[in-house]
Amino acid sequence: MADGAHTLPLPETARAALKAAVGDKGWLESEADKAPYLAEERGYYHGESALVLRPASTEEVSKIVTICAGHAIPVTPQGGNTGLCGGAVARGGVLINLGRMNRVREIDPVNATMTVEAGCILKDIQDRADAAGLLFPLSLAAEGTCQIGGNLSTNAGGIQVLRYGNARDLVLGLEVVTADGRVWHGLRGLRKNNTGYDLKHLFMGAEGTLGIITAAVLKLFPKPAETTTAMVAAETPQHLSALLTRLKQATGGQVNSFEYICRAPLDAVFTHIPGTQDPMQEKYEHYALVEMASGQKGVIRDLAEAALGEAFEAGEIVDAVLAESGEQAARLWNIRESIPEALKHCGPSAKHDISVPVSKVPEFLEKGSAHAERVIPGCTVMAFGHMGDGNLHFNLVMPQDTAPEDAARLREEVPPGVHDIADSLGGSFSAEHGIGLLKVHEMARYKSDVEKDMLRAIKGALDPQGIMNPGKVVP
């Protein structure tokens, strides 16, 4: 099905059948009722859908997709609608929001797993794991509203990828409604299952283009007995890179997070976010927010203090604040987590979600900054992100009074070069935000012919009618 065909009106027979499939509480039809589900986080797109469906069970999702497959009606799955690339934007057909499917089906403390439905809020999953004396480590800014189905469909990252991996690394099994409406019951809590293709990985990162994730078996971990948090300052990103290596070695790999922040976004936070203040007396150009954790009390802080002392002596850092309490650690993390909100007050911007090998982060920052200044003189680099796993949010901001045509140049002329630099360093133009609508053209640009052929072959095999989230991900 061509992407342009999904604006066809919904047949009345199908409309009636879809409403019956979910019951009176499961559908929204008026423009006012649909509006919240058709809005998009950044305002880049406006969704269109004849019907918003809110199923309460996997069986209802299966019925919906079966009906849509029978009428070749496009289907857009949606979780918490917090995505940044338009992956949950409906372009016609029906939109399926999984928010009512929010049950925790099982917690198995011995197997260290939790089976959850796709509509569970990420923060709720974290809290349920905590109540069971365990940890679910996926953590990101939108965790209070994003849903686990969307997290898995975009292979979300967040602040603890360095230690625990991306979303796909935290999953043992999936339940999926396929493009013809059948249900794949793959909810196995197995850590070893060597029986051919690992099908679950097809659906994680696919953004609903191959099927709809309805439930998952998640890995849980022991809760740390002690956590220590530090903000450090350095003269160069190269020094921070050396510090990261030092801390990983000193703690035996017990570094949870290593977040890079350049000075400009900190100034934005202190200017625009009430209640925040600089934890250091002097201003520096480069910072890292570090979290380390251990399962044994009285260990990790001593290791951190010793390693930071050695880093001072080696010239890797020039200042540091080691949190003395959980409250102080929370204030340091609030600074980092407030950056996206603060940047909304800073004028027109161009945002990039790139990744490079960890060893190449300093080189990317140098080359990316030089490129931005060369193409758009006067733009401010607002770089921050997950240096520990090589993922940077390389954002560029212009003054509030920037003319619209210059703002357009920033968004159109800078990104190709930024992505080229990341690619030249063995990196990616999309690290954790996904592809959606926003970056499909980049898939066409950067993926090799072999990769594109394989992507299209998989899409064609699992969704031959092309009804699953059409126009997204696959070029």
Tokens of 243: 């510090």
pLDDT along the chain (475 residues), means of 10: 53 97 97 95 90 98 98 97 95 97 98 98 98 97 96 96 97 98 97 96 98 98 97 98 98 97 98 97 97 95 97 97 96 97 94 97 98 94 97 96 91 95 98 95 96 97 98 95
237/298 same-domain check = yes
117/184 same-domain check = yes
Residue 150 one-letter amino acid: G
Q: Let me know if residue 474 belongs to a domain.
A: no
Chosen domain end from 316, 338, 360: 338
408: left (phi over 0), alpha (psi -120 to 50) or beta: alpha
Nearest to 160 by CA among 322, 331, 388, 329: 388
Quick check: 35 and 28 in contact, CB under 8 A? Answer: no
- DSSP letter string, 28-68: E-SHHHHHHHH--TTSS---B-SEEE--SSHHHHHHHHHHH
Chosen domain end from 222, 250, 274: 222
CATH number, residue 367: 3.30.70.2740
Q: d(Cα 96, Cα 199) in Å, to the nearest integer?
A: 23
Q: Let me know if residue 470 belongs to a domain.
A: no
Domain count, the chain: 5
Q: Let me know if residue 472 belongs to a domain.
A: no
Q: Within its chain, how far is the Cα of 81 from the centroid?
A: 12
Chosen domain end from 52, 81, 100: 100
Quick check: 56 and 27 in contact, CB under 8 A? Answer: no
195/234 same-domain check = no
Q: d(Cα 26, Cα 74) in Å, to the nearest integer?
A: 18
396/321 same-domain check = no
Q: Let me know if residue 473 belongs to a domain.
A: no
Domain that holds residue 454: 438-465
CATH number, residue 156: 3.30.465.10
Q: d(Cα 364, Cα 355) in Å, to the nearest integer?
A: 9
**pLDDT value, residue 145:** 96
Q: d(Cα 175, Cα 187) in Å, to the nearest integer?
A: 6
Query: What does the radius of gyration of the chain's CA atoms come to, in whole angstroms?
Result: 23
Q: d(Cα 284, Cα 9) in Å, to the nearest integer?
A: 58
85/112 same-domain check = no
Quick check: 75 and 468 in contact, CB under 8 A? Answer: yes
CATH number, residue 279: 3.30.70.2190
CATH number, residue 86: 3.30.43.10
Residue 375 one-letter amino acid: V
Q: Let me know if residue 475 belongs to a domain.
A: no
316/331 same-domain check = yes
Q: Identify the DSSP state of 127.
A: H
Q: Let me know if residue 233 belongs to a domain.
A: yes
Max Cα distance, the chain (Å):
75
118/216 same-domain check = yes
Count how many residues are written for the chain: 475
173/216 same-domain check = yes
43/143 same-domain check = no
332/374 same-domain check = no
378/297 same-domain check = no
The pTM (predicted TM-score) of the whole model is: 0.94
Q: d(Cα 331, Cα 338) in Å, to the nearest integer?
A: 10
74/23 same-domain check = yes
